[in-house]
């Protein structure tokens, strides 16, 4: 379904009159032998009727291209959602006191609804005369067919906007991916250079001399390379829609503790305390362990990575609606507010300094957001520079509950 855009975005309320719709009203004026014809759109929030295109109207109205909505005759078309025929405006109780009718000497009116892409009546295609007119069935049919042409123009414009937005997004993605290729090449080349250099040195010296240092370098480089490859493969699966959520019964506290233990060594080297506040206890939930684990690894890994002192923590509890709330908190460097939205985009990090000093692909948070959305969840970020970061993941997971024993299954 095409989105419904505002009159301004569709060009229905603009300085210049659209040539295609101008041709339609000029044709309708000729075929119905009416001196005045126009396409109106009604904006109730602004309490105005706008003349999108018009011909034969009094110069004052044609120049203003709008009128108060209480003076509008087209509003009766919108209210009725069908063609409105008024042979004598001065005799019809709806219009006999209308100031425009008296001021400009208007006497006869016919209006046909025009629609938004959602089918809502947005205004009317109208013809008017300065003398009474018994509009015929043929008049109605002509104007109704021409109104369909106006509807087609509105729909075409909405489709064009959709296509333009999609093309812009594709161009942005193409640019981002091109940058990513260069970045990932650098990320892969750097650890590989360390690995190859170490192997060459091992071949030219005794193993006992510098073996420990070289093995350490090999380990660091391989771990970094593995992280890059894992992120790339994860995103590739998400892009190809090959990653499906497979649910089973799991203890989320156990998953969180396993993730925390993974970063215990790194945290100890920096003097960062790790803790977990498990408010779920032994409760089981139906979830995809791999997806939950990936979300926790990315978020908690960042919490430890960007914290030099203080602590990083995981919290688990249910909200008032029974949703599982996973909180990741740290006392690290924090994230400037201007990056709070873009950090969840692919290839984005919290500023270029982060990418230079800490490395990484800039894919972790994008992967997290995509996985959370796959699980029908929501992610929120609260952070300020120098005051740490608090990320909240809300997941509508199905609890495993034994209705007969009225207790959680362990």
- Residue 399 sits in a domain whose CATH number is 3.30.565.10
Residues 271, 366, single domain; the answer is yes
Average the pLDDT over 70-85 and give the result.
94
Q: What is the domain count for the chain?
A: 3
Average the pLDDT over 339-360 and give the result.
58
Q: Which of 8, 23, 341 is nearest to 161 (CA)?
A: 8
Q: Assign 3-class secondary structure to 154-196.
A: HHHHHHHHHHHHHHHHHHHHHHHHHHHHHHHHHHHHHHHHHHH
Q: Is residue 359 part of a domain?
A: yes
Q: Is residue 9 part of a domain?
A: no
Do 391 and 299 touch, CB atoms closer than 8 A? yes
Listed in order, strand segments (DSSP E) in 26-79 are 36-43, 48-55, 66-68
Q: Is residue 68 part of a domain?
A: yes
pLDDT at 196: 62
Beta-ladder partners of 312: 274, 330
Residues 217, 307, single domain; the answer is no
Query: Where residue 39 sits, what CATH number does that domain have?
Result: 3.30.450.40
> Of the ranges 58-62, 187-191, 205-209, which is most confident?
58-62
Strand duo 273-278 + 311-318: pairing: parallel
Residues 78, 117, single domain; the answer is yes
Residues 148, 193, single domain; the answer is no
What distances in angstroms separate CA 244 from CA 12, 239, 241, 290, 376, one per listed residue? 44, 12, 7, 10, 13
Residues 146, 121, single domain; the answer is yes
Q: Is residue 121 part of a domain?
A: yes
In this model, does residue 404 exceed pLDDT 80?
no
Coil, helix or strand at residue 54: strand
Residues 269, 389, single domain; the answer is yes
Q: Which of 257, 1, 34 is nearest to 116 (CA)?
A: 1
pTM: 0.48
Beta-ladder partners of 273: 311
Average the pLDDT over 32-52 and give the result.
91
pLDDT at 191: 73
Among residues 109, 134, 163, the one where a domain terminates is 163
Residues 255, 210, single domain; the answer is no
Q: Is residue 8 part of a domain?
A: no
Q: Is residue 7 part of a domain?
A: no
Among residues 222, 239, 256, the one where a domain terminates is 239
Residues 391, 270, single domain; the answer is yes
In this model, does residue 171 exceed pLDDT 70?
yes
Among residues 163, 188, 208, the one where a domain terminates is 163
Query: Where residue 196 sits, what CATH number does that domain have?
Result: 1.10.287.130
Residues 141, 262, single domain; the answer is no
Q: Is residue 4 part of a domain?
A: no
pLDDT at 338: 83
Q: Is residue 13 part of a domain?
A: no
Q: Which residues touch 335 (CB under 8 Å, ≥6 apart)? A: 343, 350, 381, 383, 384, 385, 389
What distances in angstroms separate CA 59 from CA 37, 56, 64, 104, 271, one per listed residue? 13, 8, 8, 10, 79
Coil, helix or strand at residue 395: strand
**195 lies in which domain range?**
166-239
pLDDT at 227: 66
* Residue 378: CB atoms within 10 Å: 14
């Amino acid at each position: 379904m095409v989105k419904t855009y505002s009159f301004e975005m569709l060009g229905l309320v603009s300085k210049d009159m659209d040539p295609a719709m101008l041709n339609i009203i000029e044709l309708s004026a000729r075929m119905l032998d009416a001196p005045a014809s126009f396409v109106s759109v009604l904006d109730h929030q602004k309490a105005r009727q706008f003349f999108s295109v018009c011909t034969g109207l009094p110069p004052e109205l044609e120049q203003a291209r709008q009128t108060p909505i209480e003076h509008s005759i087209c509003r009766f078309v919108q209210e009725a959602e069908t063609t409105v025929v008024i042979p004598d405006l001065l005799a019809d109780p709806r219009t006999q006191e209308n100031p425009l009718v008296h001021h400009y000497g208007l006497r006869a009116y016919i209006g046909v609804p025009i629609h938004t892409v959602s089918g809502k009546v947005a205004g009317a295609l109208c013809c008017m005369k300065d003398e009474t007119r018994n509009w015929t069935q043929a008049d109605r049919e002509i104007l109704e067919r021409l109104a369909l042409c106006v509807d087609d123009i509105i729909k075409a414009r909405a489709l064009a906007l959709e296509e333009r937005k999609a093309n812009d997004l594709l161009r942005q993605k193409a640019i981002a991916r091109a940058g990513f290729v260069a970045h990932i090449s650098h990320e892969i080349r750097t650890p590989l250079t360390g690995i190859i250099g170490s192997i060459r040195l091992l071949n030219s010296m005794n193993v006992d001399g510098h073996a420990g240092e070289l093995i350490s370098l090999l380990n660091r480089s391989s771990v970094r390379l593995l992280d890059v490859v894992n992120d790339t493969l994860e995103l590739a699966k998400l892009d190809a829609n090959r990653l499906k959520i497979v649910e089973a019964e799991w203890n989320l506290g156990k998953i969180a503790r396993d993730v925390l233990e993974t970063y215990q060594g790194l945290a100890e080297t920096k003097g960062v305390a790790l803790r977990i506040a498990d408010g779920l206890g032994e409760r089981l939930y139906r979830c995809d362990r791999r997806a939950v684990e990936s979300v926790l690894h990315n978020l908690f890994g960042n919490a430890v990575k960007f914290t030099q002192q203080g602590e990083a923590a995981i919290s688990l509890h249910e909200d008032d609606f029974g949703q599982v709330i996973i909180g990741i908190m740290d006392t690290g460097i924090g994230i400037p507010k201007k990056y709070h939205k873009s950090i969840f985009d692919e290839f984005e990090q919290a500023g270029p300094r982060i990418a230079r000093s800490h490395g990484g692909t800039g894919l972790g948070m994008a992967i997290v957001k995509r996985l959370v959305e796959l699980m029908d969840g929501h992610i929120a970020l609260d952070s300020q520079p120098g005051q740490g970061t608090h990320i909240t993941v809300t997941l509508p997971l199905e609890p495993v509950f034994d209705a007969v024993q009225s207790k959680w299954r362990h």
